[in-house]
Chain A
Amino acid sequence: MTITAHMEELAASYPQAINPNRKRLAAWLAGLLTLVGYLFYIWGAFDVSSALDRANTDRASLLALDTYAYKHHVELSLKSGDLMVNLEGNRRNAYETLPEWVVSAGGETRVDMGAGYLAVISLARLQLFKNDVLITDIETTATGPILHSAPQDWMRIAANKIEGRPDIYVRFIVTKSKILLQRYSTGWENFWFDSSSELNGTSIWAAIALTFSEDRLDTAQSNYALVTSEIWGNNEWQHGQIMHAMMITVLMAFCGTLLAAITALPLSFMAANNINPVGLLRFSMKRVFDFLRGVDALIWSLIFIRAFGLGPLSGILALWLTDTGTFGKMFSEAIENADQKQMDGVNSVGAGKVQTTWFGVIPQILPVLISQTLYFLESNTRSATVIGMLGAGGIGLKLADTMRTGQDWENTMYIIFLIIFVVIIMDNISSWLRARLIKGAEKSAL
């Protein structure tokens, strides 16, 4: 028999394998059409097109820029003639001596804006040069600025204010009372030492070298104590407070998860149909679990905040109730799926009810129990962040604080990095523990 003949024979005996099944094809097509139709409906229902039109992309790029860049303000008051250079427009961070990129002489100040831009400001005008070519010339008057150069599409010109952003890193604002230059630089400024610290401007490597040096900067304490306390007490980045808040969040997750596991274990036996013969009790226990889960941690935290005040305790209790519901459901299902043979075996050698459960059921459900608890430890760290944001404190509250003003997106980014780092660490610890503690049973549980 030739191969061709053999193939023909095969094709004849399994026609459905060669010819596509029209019914299945039609079902696929119908499914696809429903999906496309649904997405169109959503496009309309969520008003996507008008939201996209309204989208404030300038704001988005500014916010994004703020996460990795900082800006210096050079502000010339036209009334008093005072020149001030500071960080992010914060008066507390003003420079006492002008930085080298600001040169003031003869009533004229030359500011090297970076990216090839040079601004020359005086009480009378602002001139902006790009690679030594004059691109903007603005005269200041008592009634408002007057533009003498050609208007550009990166400018916003109003009667009493001219604003320009020729480059994402360069910005100027001229009003009748002041000239403001904003000079952006990449990086996180003063990350280790804030501007009021005597170590301000010291790099972290120099600071580490300093801790090994014998010459004390401050005679009252060792260099190590000085450097760590300065970093910890950094006012702009608040390292100490943020680390403390992060710990509180992890604590919330840990206590909430553990309390829930401890509470759910006995309750889940009451809900399992192979342990508890009383149907009514089983049914009501299961509904209690559903209720606890259904209400959600957010609503529980609202209730507990009323009673116990703002803070992590309310967060712990909220996580505790929600997770008791979730664990109760999972544990009782695990108990119901436990093998009856092991229980029968223990029972047949004369064990009582308690012993049968202890030696017949617990060893079987232990892997599910541990693995679920560990898994939730990680996911609760994220939940604790969210309910923290809504009043339970911890890192969530810090995050909300930095986002509220819309000014400190670099701090927001820093906290996000920290959260991601901690969650990934927790994730790794929990999967390592799961693998160590239950060896191979891992796969059986969810």
Chain B
Amino acid sequence: MSELMATANIAAQYEIAERRRRIYTGLLLILLLVLLIGGVRVAEEANSGSILAGLPKVFDYPFDILSQAYSKGWDFWSIPFSLQHAENGVQHTYFYYLIETINMAVVSTLIGFTLGGLISIIASRNLVKSRTLVWVTRRFTDIARAFPEIVIALFLIFIFGKNPIAAVVAIAFHTTGALSKMFSEVNENADMKAWEGLEAAGASWLQKVWFGIIPQVWPNWISYGLLRFEINVRASAILGFVGAGGLGQQFKTFVDWKFGADIAAIILLLILTITAIDILSTWARRRFIGKTAH
């Protein structure tokens, strides 16, 4: 009898808890919805045009670009390979600028990967005894991640003039911050048995890191590095837009000149490149760490 009552009691308690949980979830969803609607309204107020007035015009610009591209006929497809106007008197093809953008991404990822790897070891609580050192390193990586890349790029353009170096340094700085955070999380999840074994055998700190940690973590490091590379290809295209060279800079010129066919060609090149790099890096990541990581 008492058992039955106890069961009934549990069921009632469960019911109450479940109802409370539902109420909380519901309230949270309503709150989010209210915030969202309020936010969009505020944004609309601050905007120079309104949603309703702009809605019919959404396709104007894409249509304009595409019709200009269409009017070129088959010649459109030769645009990426034809010589373009260039600022220093040297003419290049879009293809050349595309390669420049990719190179910017590769170099900045390489620099960020190397520095991030080194810094992540000092930022891992299980590898460094000094709490202060870990704390200081982590705050540095926080700042490096949060620092707006575009500001570094613009500052360097002030100093070096329009050059890919500005974008490379800016992206590398951000990448260093982002990767050292991710790497240090990987390092902290590493199995410490190898480390302890090496310690028992009298290995130095450097040997413990090199033989005990690195072999475990590097597949994940590579995977995160490739993911960063995808992001950096976009970033280098965007920074080009403010004058740091590459395809982005060309794009900016033609957006200002309203050359629809060229704009369409560059967007197409960018989409194809980004998609190709996505596919390649997903494939490479699967190879490195198996199918578990997305």
Give residues in A with beta carbon < 8 Å to B.
Answer: 35, 38-39, 42, 45-48, 51-52, 54-57, 59-60, 63, 248, 251-252, 254-255, 258-259, 290-291, 293-296, 298-299, 302-304, 306-316, 330, 333-334, 337, 382, 385-386, 389-390, 393, 396, 399, 403, 406, 412, 416, 419-420, 423-424, 427, 443, 446
Contact = CB atoms under 8 A, between A and B. Distances in A.
Nearest to A368: B294
Contact of A419 (B46, B146, B159, B237): B146
B204 to A, nearest CB: 20
Interface in B177-228: 189
Given A312-B46, A427-B146, 14 more contacts: A42-B103, A46-B103, A52-B160, A55-B160, A56-B160, A248-B46, A251-B39, A294-B275, A296-B238, A303-B61, A304-B54, A306-B57, A307-B57, A427-B142
B35 interface: yes
7 pairs of A and B residues whose beta carbons are closest in the complex: A311-B47, A309-B49, A309-B48, A308-B54, A294-B271, A423-B146, A313-B47
B146 to A, nearest CB: 4
Interface string B143-178: 101111111001100111101110010000000000
A248 B168 CA distance: 29
B86 interface: no
> Chain A contact residues: over half helix, strand or loop, or mixed?
helix
B142 A311 contact: no
B270 A309 contact: no
Interface core residue of B32, B103, B163 (most chain A CB under 10 Å): B163
15 contacts: A42-B103, A47-B163, A54-B160, A56-B158, A63-B155, A258-B36, A302-B255, A307-B60, A308-B48, A312-B42, A312-B43, A337-B294, A385-B150, A420-B147, A427-B142
Contact of B54 (A51, A309, A412): A309
B125 interface: no
A303 B58 contact: yes
Contacts of A307: 49, 54-55, 57-58, 60-61
A254 B38 CA distance: 11
Contacts of A333: 294
Of B40, B154, B278, the most chain A CB neighbours within 10 A belong to B40
B241 interface: yes
Nearest to A334: B294
A294 B274 contact: yes
A5 to B, nearest CB: 20
Interface residues of B, number: 63
Contacts of B100: 45-46
Contact of B48 (A248, A290, A311, A446): A311
A316 B47 CA distance: 11
A295 B161 contact: no
Contacts of A382: 146, 148
A258 B270 CA distance: 26
A386 B242 CA distance: 10
B161 A54 contact: yes
A63 B158 CA distance: 9
A309 B55 CA distance: 11
B164 A314 contact: no
Contacts of B36: 254-255, 258-259
A185 B228 CA distance: 42
Contacts, number: 171
Contact of B163 (A46, A57, A306): A46
B146 A424 contact: yes
Nearest to A257: B36
Nearest to B100: A45
Given A46-B164, A390-B241, A252 B107 contact: no
Contacts of A57: 159
Q: For A57, A298, A337, which residue has the most chain B Cβ atoms within 10 angstroms?
A: A298
Contacts of B147: 416, 420
B32 to A, nearest CB: 6
Nearest to B36: A258
A293 B39 CA distance: 24
Given A254-B35, A290-B278, A406 B165 contact: no
Given A258-B36, A313-B51, A59 B46 contact: no
Interface in B31-87: 32, 35-36, 39-40, 42-44, 46-51, 53-55, 57-58, 60-62
Contacts of A291: 271
B267 interface: yes
Contacts of B272: 294
Given A51-B161, A56-B159, A308-B54, A254 B294 contact: no
Contact of A60 (B57, B58, B159): B159
B291 to A, nearest CB: 9
A290 B57 CA distance: 24
A48 B234 CA distance: 22
B269 to A, nearest CB: 11
A427 B182 CA distance: 13
B61 to A, nearest CB: 4
Nearest to B233: A296
Nearest to A336: B294
Contacts of A255: 36, 39-40, 43
Nearest to A46: B164
B154 A403 contact: yes
A330 to B, nearest CB: 7
B271 A295 contact: yes
A393 B161 CA distance: 26
B61 A302 contact: yes
B156 to A, nearest CB: 9
A393 B237 CA distance: 21
Given A51-B165, A258-B32, A420-B147, A252 B43 contact: yes
B151 A310 contact: no
B46 A313 contact: yes
A258 to B, nearest CB: 5
B160 A51 contact: yes
A45 B49 contact: no
Contacts of B150: 385-386, 389, 396
B164 to A, nearest CB: 5
A38 B106 CA distance: 10
B90 to A, nearest CB: 11
B57 A251 contact: no
Contacts of A399: 148, 151
B267 A295 contact: yes
Contacts of B189: 443
